[in-house]
Chain A
């Protein structure tokens, strides 16, 4: 078997070294694809074409498979997130307690649909499939921080604070 040389890093950006580290830890094994994409997303915030290409080449995975995995799993996003992210949990318990109304309120206030980012790149509105804090439903994640028993007014206040910044 000929020795495999992984491709050079796409740029000087130090974050590629972190990505490379994840792959090296598994010996550039093909099954490290999902782990590596997780590292890319946590370092860069999203997966772009260059990143998927780089990871696929490094792990010797067909581009189609890498793209397939990146688009199959909801957790991965191919679009850059906004400066702030408000994630409304749409699990069953939250839905029963009015998560759909929270989503509608946020959509109206931000004039975007769920899954989108405001044109100025400030705020992203996302939904989640249950974050496991069901006992405090309805739950909203404001920049990753869990806020339980959310109301429309409280959420609008939070959005207002972000807009003023």
Chain B
């Protein structure tokens, strides 16, 4: 495969699509598919054939505003239809070339205008199972440029220059990590993609893997070239069967086109990728636990150092990045580090994909430049809280994050700002809560999650989260005392400071942040035995967890 051949493929895709007057793109992501997008697509194909118009019906990955699904976009006019059921296929096909069917045309300009699409640039425009579609949108161009024109050092330099930070949540500078692995001594090195998106309430990585799998593979191949690895692993949750099948197809297609395998594009570079299935353990998102899991063992973390960069998979230098980090690589290589550096805030560059869910009008995936105000995301892009309810808090960072109250919404989103507010960026879940949510109950929910997900290796996390759960349960059932609250607070700091890995170190965050911003709710539960949101049942007996 050469650049010319890539261009040839891109050209033939364009010629093929030039045969059609209209392109009808149907979102077939999980949310739309669960509302009948499959039947809709079949109906569209059938009606289009019968109408005699030249229509290409294409299935695509997630278009974004899932609450409006099933979504259909008609190109070249870019008309977006929402809540499209199979019986509306005829109306859509009839509307082609005339005026669009108005009753389910969707006006989401506010939703889209504030967004900048880098990671999701292809989402909604390509068929995820067709490598040619990806190539037609500049796919694999970055890989070929890197192999033919750049040195591994040059690639590391470009990524460093971009200011990209790890999108898995920690925000470690990606260029620095790549440089460390590149410098590490060893004949065998590995590149690992962390697709173990265990945060409940986050589904960005699933959408990227399902909607644009080649982007992840291309990012990994570029990383492998930069650090000198020839073998890669994608670790995906078993709960994401579609992602697994899309990635399998994508890997097969990439091999067939000579974009993976030996002597890629007639260069000495060899690289191939294997998929590894997770098995439902949240702790496996932690890098050392993930490595143990790929090795076929129980996913328990190890103390660092040594860091995976020097001793990772089977003791070899290993580069681990998140799905979204790899998805940013190809555009950075294509457009240059400066281009990426110029987006975002001072210390957080580029864009971030968030999964906007909970009590909000437009749920779904959004990609925004770093530094955008939380208020803009929630009120403008998300359309605010529905049903006349009042906004109470937004939760970011999953079980490791915190709840951010209304008065902090004017802060710009960045790794550092979120950390300062007692939350974290996390992988990008953003769950909006209104006045019907009890913050003590939410804290208890997350602690229960961490308690059951604790691997049990270190005591602060294993026993600490269980005790915190018991205390929170007491408070939620109206039997908590002020002593319980004091004990809870001291346990928070113990667990935070003495746990072995990120799971335990961040487990108290939901409790600490709700205590910081919603202490009055705790007091209501303890002093007045009353749940202001009316969620907690104050009569039930205390469940004691040993």
A129-B200 in contact (CB<8A): yes
CB nearest neighbor in B for A133: B30
Q: What A residues does B13 contact at CB under 8 A?
A: none
Partner of A130, one of B33, B67, B200: B200
Q: What A residues does B200 contact at CB under 8 A?
A: 90-95, 129-130, 134
Q: What A residues does B298 contact at CB under 8 A?
A: 65, 68-69, 72-73
Known: A75-B239, A96-B437. A135 touches B67 (CB 8 A): yes
A91-B34 in contact (CB<8A): no
B337 CB → nearest A CB, Å: 32
- B364 interface residue per 8 A CB criterion: yes
CB nearest neighbor in B for A61: B296
- Bitwise, A121-164 to B at CB < 8 A (1) or not (0) is 00000001111111111010000011110000000000000000
B357-A137 in contact (CB<8A): yes
Partner of B294, one of A31, A76, A145: A31
Known: A135-B31, A136-B31. A31 touches B295 (CB 8 A): yes
- B530 interface residue per 8 A CB criterion: no
| Interface size band for B | 35 or more
Q: What B residues does A139 contact at CB under 8 A?
A: 34
- A33 interface residue per 8 A CB criterion: yes
Q: Which of A30, A74, A139 has the most B CB atoms < 10 Å from its CB?
A: A74
Q: What A residues does B356 contact at CB under 8 A?
A: 135
Query: With A and B bound together, what is the CA distance between A61 and B33 in angstroms?
Result: 41
Partner-binding segment picked from B51-59, B262-270, B278-286: B278-286
Q: What A residues does B240 contact at CB under 8 A?
A: 132
- A63 interface residue per 8 A CB criterion: no
- B513 interface residue per 8 A CB criterion: no
A32-B296 in contact (CB<8A): yes
- B108 interface residue per 8 A CB criterion: no
Partner of B239, one of A61, A72, A132, A145: A132
- A24 interface residue per 8 A CB criterion: no
- B194 interface residue per 8 A CB criterion: no
A148-B34 in contact (CB<8A): yes
- B197 interface residue per 8 A CB criterion: yes
B contacts, CB < 8 Å to A? 30-31, 33-35, 66-67, 69, 197-203, 206, 238-240, 276-282, 293-299, 355-359, 363-365, 395, 398, 429, 431, 433, 437, 442, 445-446, 449, 453, 455
Q: A135-B31, A146-B34 are in contact. List 11 more A-B contacts (CB 8 A).
A: A32-B296, A73-B280, A73-B281, A92-B357, A92-B398, A96-B442, A129-B282, A130-B203, A136-B69, A137-B363, A139-B34
A32 CB → nearest B CB, Å: 6
B107 CB → nearest A CB, Å: 19
Q: What A residues does B449 contact at CB under 8 A?
A: 129
Query: With A and B bound together, what is the CA distance between A37 and B296 in angstroms?
Result: 10
Q: What A residues does B358 contact at CB under 8 A?
A: 92-93, 96-97, 137
Partner of A34, one of B31, B199, B277: B277
Q: What B residues does A68 contact at CB under 8 A?
A: 298
Query: With A and B bound together, what is the CA distance between A66 and B52 in angstroms?
Result: 60
B203-A134 in contact (CB<8A): yes
